[in-house]
A and B are shown apart, each in its own frame.
Chain A
Amino acid sequence: MKRRDFIQNTAAATALVSLGGLSALSFKPERQQITILHTNDVHSHIEAFGADAGRNANLGGVARRATLVEKIRRENPNTLLLDAGDIFQGTPYFNFYGGELEFKLMSMLKYDAATLGNHDFDNGIDGLYAQLPHAEFPFVISNYDFSNTIMDGKTDKFRTFTKDGIKIGVFGVGIELQGLVSNKLYKETEYLDPIEIATDMSRILKEEENCDLVICLSHLGYKYSSQKIGDIKLARATENIDLIIGGHTHTFLDKPTVETNKVGNHVLVNQVGCYGVYLGRVDFFFQNGKKSSADGVKLAV
């Protein structure tokens, strides 16, 4: 979309309030673009699907994803590449090599961070630990307490990245493993309430770390008809998250869902199905030197 069109659209948006009074500020207007690329539930799909793979036919493949990511990075170096978990399990590559190839390839693609999915425990917490040396990217997960496990100290609650002066905070939340993964696989990993933890993490990132953008990498799943916590519930129940990148439910969204959080601000929720057949892309544009007290989202599909 051209900037001119954007301005016209914004002007038409009734949700926007006047930005009057800002003319007194004399900052030099400068536009910054942050590009967030993301995958979820790739499930060891190293190769592209063959011609006989139904709706996934001829899609996916890490080597193609590498070309795509590199092209976007050349266009905008201020890009983060993130994954929302379930990197493991789904093709014989995982059964044969235990996840080594998945982590090595993600490192070659220069992933900036990933969170953990339930299937990442499929070779046990020891199997996950054994592959960590092949991952040159951090795992962010804030609601699994690994204190009594071999993974203690091997993950981060969050990471921050600064790109073109914009500070981006990324934290992770995982799904309850009990009932989904055999206890002997996840051992003494303790699951903590994702809403409580996400509330804390996003507050810390926004208020203490002064992040301009807070991203939650979630493997909770998109939404459930039951009481179970999914990304939509998480978006509504928290207040400092700008973007939730989800996984687990293999939900194919052709565009991010716009939700409203606890204090009336907008949160984007995105998920790109599974198996690396799509790459998600969200671009955030910032304008320096402006301050606003309005919140409005203009959707122009």
Chain B
Amino acid sequence: MKNLTTIICASVLLLSSCKTEFKHLEQVDGKRISVDSSIEEDSEITEFIAPYKQHLNETLDSPLSYNPSFLSKRDGDLNTAIGNLMADALMEQVNPIFRKNTGNSIDMVLLNHGGIRAEIPVGNVSTRTAYQIMPFENEVVIAELKGEKMLEMLDYLSKAKTAHPVSGIKIIADGSYMIKNATIKQQQISRDSTYFVATSDYLVGGGDNMKFFADPVSIHSSDYKIRNVMIDYFRKTDTIRSVIDDRYIRQ
């Protein structure tokens, strides 16, 4: 058999003398076997899986929306069309629920650029697209942050020099990424206010080193997976119109 690594260990086991029958462990062999294409599939198992697979693929591939232009997280300086799509979809899907449950509104959305796991080619957009761009099970959470934590966030962004997806905030940086101006609902971010920031449970937990999410004023779970946000958004959107815009730019 290929790819077979073997170790041989011989072991002599201590047994209590009161046993009438002695079973003496004299040798142990350990190895791992590669489950590769040299092994034929068990046809009974393949046939059993087939109807599940067919239903799954039909559902995954049934068109929900149409994408007229190639979307990649590599296209754009400090904002990308695909990042804007995800951050705006999250705002649009989650804000009404959050408002209904708490009476408050989401001020902004922040996701991470690294969390966009695929490109979206021109053509039909399906549930599979949502699984590809968001294979993880992360859920939307809303963290209420003090103004000073918001300033730490801006500092983080200026150092990251990365198109982390945002929505609801407008940020202008200078040529060397230092942030000159940041507004939410046309207002400067104030040290004395608190802000509701929708993000993922991964980032709130310290993912991507976003330490400003630590010790929030309050935290609200949504029970809404980011992938499902995208599926629901695609379902109600006939044609994707997201573009690179001026929400986070250098000038």
Contact = CB atoms under 8 A, between A and B. Distances in A.
Contacts of B14: 265, 292-295
A72 B131 CA distance: 36
How many interface residues does chain A have, given as a range?
35 or more
B26 A276 contact: no
Nearest to A165: B23
A291 B131 CA distance: 58
B32 A255 contact: yes
B187 interface: no
Nearest to A284: B28
Contact of A291 (B15, B45, B60): B15
Interface stretch (B35-43, B156-164, B212-220): B35-43
Given A10-B10, A290-B24, A210 B19 contact: yes
Most buried by B among A47, A97, A287, A299: A287
Contacts of A101: 49, 52
B185 to A, nearest CB: 31
Nearest to B45: A63
A278 B22 contact: no
B9 A299 contact: yes
Contact of A296 (B11, B53, B60): B11
A63 B24 contact: no
Contacts of A234: none
Interface residues of B, number: 50
A66 B21 CA distance: 35
A27 B19 CA distance: 14
Interface stretch (A53-61, A140-148, A150-158, A192-200): A53-61
A278 B35 contact: yes
A96 B59 contact: yes
Most buried by A among B8, B19, B27, B33: B27
A133 to B, nearest CB: 17
A263 B7 CA distance: 24
Given A70-B42, A105-B49, A298-B10, A288 B23 contact: yes
Contacts of B127: 92
B228 to A, nearest CB: 9
A301 B7 contact: yes
A254 B8 contact: no
Given A93-B52, A298-B8, A298-B10, A286 B35 contact: no
Contacts of A213: 25
B41 A63 contact: yes
Contact of B45 (A16, A32, A66, A290): A66
Nearest to B30: A256
Contacts of B52: 46, 93, 96-97, 101
Given A93-B52, A108-B44, A276 B35 contact: yes
Interface in A82-101: 89, 92-93, 96-97, 101
A105 B45 CA distance: 7
Interface in A245-301: 253-256, 258, 265-266, 268, 270, 272, 276-301
B33 A286 contact: no
B69 to A, nearest CB: 24
A6 B41 contact: no
Contact of B33 (A16, A70, A279, A301): A279
B32 A281 contact: yes
Nearest to B47: A63
A291 B8 contact: no
Interface string B1-23: 00001111111111101010111
A187 interface: no
B42 A282 contact: no
12 contacts: A46-B49, A68-B33, A70-B42, A96-B52, A213-B25, A285-B25, A285-B29, A286-B23, A287-B24, A290-B22, A292-B15, A298-B8
Given A59-B34, A289-B21, A295-B11, 17 more contacts: A62-B49, A63-B46, A64-B40, A66-B44, A96-B52, A108-B45, A165-B23, A254-B5, A255-B6, A256-B7, A279-B35, A281-B31, A286-B25, A289-B22, A290-B22, A298-B10, A301-B7
Considering the complex of A and B, which 9 residue pairs feature the smallest CB-CB distances, nearest first? A63-B41, A66-B42, A290-B24, A255-B7, A298-B10, A256-B30, A63-B45, A285-B27, A291-B22
Interface of A: 1, 6, 9-10, 13, 16, 25, 27, 32, 46-48, 58-68, 70, 89, 92-93, 96-97, 101, 104-105, 108-109, 122, 165-166, 182, 210, 212-213, 242, 253-256, 258, 265-266, 268, 270, 272, 276-301
